[in-house]
Amino acid sequence: MEEERLRLDAAAQVAHAEVDFPAEWRFGAREAPVLGRRGAVSTTDEYATRVGLEVLERGGTAMDAAIAVSFALAVVNPSAGNIGGGGFMVTRLTGGETSALDYREKAPLAAHRDMYLDEDGELTDASLVGHLAAGVPGTVMGMWRAHERYGTLPWDELVQPAVELAEGFEVQERFARSIRGAAERLRTFETTRRTFLPDDRPPEVGETFRQPELARTLARIRDQGPDGFYGGETADLLVAEMERGGGIITHEDLARYDAVWREPVNFTYRNHTVTSMPPSSSGGVTMALMAHMLEEHDLAALGWHSPEMIHLMVEAWKRAYADRNQLLADIDFVPVPMDSLLSPSYARRRGAEIDPTRATPSEEIAPGLEIREPTETTHYSVVDEWGNAVAVTTTINSGYGNRVTVEGAGFLLNNEMDDFAAKPGFPNQFGLVQGEQNAIEPEKRMLSAMTPTVVADPDGRLLFVTGTPGGSTIITTVFQTLVGVVDFGMSVSQAVNAPRLHHQHLPDLLYWEAGGLAAETVGGLEAMGHILRERGGVSGDVQAILVLPDGTYSVYSDPRLGGTALAR
């Protein structure tokens, strides 16, 4: 095996684009990705990546691996991996068939529009912290539906690795760092403190971390499928937790939850076919708007990250987010003008308003149509030897969700309710100013930015699998990896390592990662009227796979937080 991989490394050609990053930027433009011919997995955590790879080695498909990875992440990456949250899965089968699975959380039946406002109509923090912040979890049903349609290995074999990890795993650096960083928040609720700070301190690298209650919950899911979560003991524990903490999720909410297969958003960008998530995620539609506006322009001719290239991209983003924030929401509840938003002619009209030399102030950019009538998430990408590709982004919204661990069941709940417009017209935790369309209603799904994406080349062959966490920045981050690969011919490591930018219409600020723009580029953009804001910390955590011209998979995990990419 090892020998084969070495031969492959020597033979495969990883072409890096003629692009260099600013001298101060902390990641390289010529890093070697991991290569393999028969499958690749990239996730935030070595254990989860290994679980995925082992499923592929046993003959499972990318879909089987993705299901096993999802449950493994619920154990080893509890800040975002989950069974108490939800997510989206985008797939492309080897024959080109695409699908999109929506297992986003839903508002409980007892939810109502003003549930997060106090007597004076002011927003409270109840959409973020505590029992009331949780939407009805979708992950277990999502994995079940994915398995029902595409699974080839038995369900219990895919859940079992997670059960074993929950019984105990050796703490690695990323896990220790994450808990350490969240330690104060993890003390908000006693069950959560007991679960994640077992000796009243963050676990250290090399120690064994055990989650026995979670192991029992996962064993019930392994043995009973969704009934092991939405019914029986797990449901009883979850509802009891709600009653103790003033939450509103009931047995009926759990029994009614289902995941939905949706028509994926398929759009064309420079003859590539991009497949991404439709509402209840905004990701696919918003990227289509950006892509259609920018297709009119030759970005490559302007040079990567030249002020002119950045300017055009950012102006397109502002217009796309203006539409996103007002027009997009759960299509099962409100009318969303999907046909217009996805039509290249609509986006071109909107793109024609871009002044090539001056930034348009956001306050002058309104949504282009009228309607008639933070901080943690995780993405992973998997491909198999048959060319099936799976992109999954899943979350409990903020890092460690609403901070509530279900007593006796050992898993954290989400605070996804904050992704609704709890008070339309006012910013949520990501500063997104969203409209009426996305107001709270019972059983509605809150609008997401998660953008798991698969791209086929102009000949219809699988080219790229990508996605990231990052709240409102998810769409621009995924879009920048797409532009890197399609417009600039970047290698997977370049596309992931490249410094990132972000603009979401409101606030009217162009964010850039510290060290990621040269001083003269900043100056050039300011001269065009952009207001720039340097961001500390990291922006995104991309897990991506790029198929090389000879069919070899090149896979790369974002070094910003340190994940693991493996191939076979």
Asked if residue 374 binds ligand DON (CB under 6 A), the reply is yes
Asked if residue 347 binds ligand DON (CB under 6 A), the reply is no
Encoded tokens for 38:
């028969």
Distance of alpha carbon 388 from alpha carbon 408, whole angstroms: 38
Distance of alpha carbon 329 from alpha carbon 244, whole angstroms: 32
Q: Which is nearer to ligand DON, 347 or 449 (CB)?
A: 449
Q: Which is nearer to ligand DON, 70 or 397 (CB)?
A: 397
Site for ligand DON in 64-103 (CB under 6 A): none
Number of residues that bind ligand DON (CB under 6 A): 15
Asked if residue 395 binds ligand DON (CB under 6 A), the reply is yes
- Residue that the structure tokens 């690298």 belong to: 205
Decide: 397 and 378 in contact? Cβ < 8 Å. no
Q: Which member of 44, 273, 286, 377 is catalytic?
A: 377
State how far the alpha carbon of 83 is from the alpha carbons of 76, 314, 351, in Å: 12, 36, 41
Distance of alpha carbon 275 from alpha carbon 457, whole angstroms: 11
SS3 for 489? coil
In the list 419, 487, 513, 558, the residue contacting ligand DON (rule: CB under 6 A) is 419
Stretch that binds ligand DON, among 11-19, 133-141, 166-174, 372-380 (CB under 6 A): 372-380
Distance of alpha carbon 96 from alpha carbon 104, whole angstroms: 25
Q: What is the largest CA-CA distance in the chain?
A: 69
SS3 for 7? helix
| Peptide bond preceding 337 in cis form (omega within 30 of 0) | no
Closest to 405 (Cα-Cα) out of 182, 224, 124, 255:
182
Q: Which is nearer to ligand DON, 45 or 64 (CB)?
A: 45
Encoded tokens for 280:
């209840």
Q: Which is nearer to ligand DON, 85 or 161 (CB)?
A: 85
Distance of alpha carbon 512 from alpha carbon 499, whole angstroms: 8
Task: Return the amino acid letter for 135.
Answer: G
Asked if residue 470 binds ligand DON (CB under 6 A), the reply is yes
Distance of alpha carbon 26 from alpha carbon 140, whole angstroms: 38
- Give me the count of residues in the chain: 568
Stretch that binds ligand DON, among 175-183, 192-200, 261-269, 375-383 (CB under 6 A): 375-383
Least separation in angstroms between CB 81 and ligand DON: 12
Asked if residue 450 binds ligand DON (CB under 6 A), the reply is yes
Asked if residue 137 binds ligand DON (CB under 6 A), the reply is no
Encoded tokens for 355:
């002044």
Stretch that binds ligand DON, among 295-303, 453-461, 464-472, 527-535 (CB under 6 A): 464-472
Asked if residue 376 binds ligand DON (CB under 6 A), the reply is yes
Asked if residue 368 binds ligand DON (CB under 6 A), the reply is no
SS3 for 521? helix
Q: Which is nearer to ligand DON, 49 or 448 (CB)?
A: 448
Stretch that binds ligand DON, among 168-176, 345-353, 446-454, 530-538 (CB under 6 A): 446-454
Least separation in angstroms between CB 558 and ligand DON: 12
SS3 for 146? helix
Q: Is 275 left (phi over 0), alpha (psi -120 to 50) or beta?
A: beta
Decide: 175 and 76 in contact? Cβ < 8 Å. yes
Task: Return the amino acid letter for 375.
Answer: T
Asked if residue 471 binds ligand DON (CB under 6 A), the reply is yes
Stretch that binds ligand DON, among 4-12, 456-464, 467-475, 545-553 (CB under 6 A): 467-475
Distance of alpha carbon 530 from alpha carbon 357, whole angstroms: 11
Least separation in angstroms between CB 451 and ligand DON: 9
Asked if residue 203 binds ligand DON (CB under 6 A), the reply is no
Q: Which is nearer to ligand DON, 192 or 402 (CB)?
A: 402
Closest to 544 (Cα-Cα) out of 561, 565, 559, 525:
565
- Residue that the structure tokens 């509103």 belong to: 248
Least separation in angstroms between CB 169 and ligand DON: 23
Encoded tokens for 324:
């996103």
Stretch that binds ligand DON, among 65-73, 357-365, 463-471, 487-495 (CB under 6 A): 463-471
Decide: 456 and 96 in contact? Cβ < 8 Å. yes
Asked if residue 39 binds ligand DON (CB under 6 A), the reply is no
Asked if residue 60 binds ligand DON (CB under 6 A), the reply is no
In the list 286, 377, 437, 539, the residue contacting ligand DON (rule: CB under 6 A) is 377
| Neighbouring C-beta atoms of residue 232, cutoff 10 Å | 12
Distance of alpha carbon 204 from alpha carbon 209, whole angstroms: 9
Asked if residue 325 binds ligand DON (CB under 6 A), the reply is no
Q: Which is nearer to ligand DON, 46 or 419 (CB)?
A: 419
Least separation in angstroms between CB 430 and ligand DON: 7
| Catalytic residue flag (residue 377) | yes
Asked if residue 448 binds ligand DON (CB under 6 A), the reply is yes
Site for ligand DON in 236-255 (CB under 6 A): none
Q: For residue 545, list its beta bridge partners.
A: 465, 555
Stretch that binds ligand DON, among 39-47, 291-299, 368-376, 481-489 (CB under 6 A): 368-376
In the list 375, 514, 515, 535, the residue contacting ligand DON (rule: CB under 6 A) is 375
Least separation in angstroms between CB 470 and ligand DON: 5
Asked if residue 513 binds ligand DON (CB under 6 A), the reply is no
- Which residues are known to be catalytic? 377
Interacting residues toward ligand DON by CB under 6 A: 374-377, 395, 397, 416, 419, 448-450, 469-471, 474
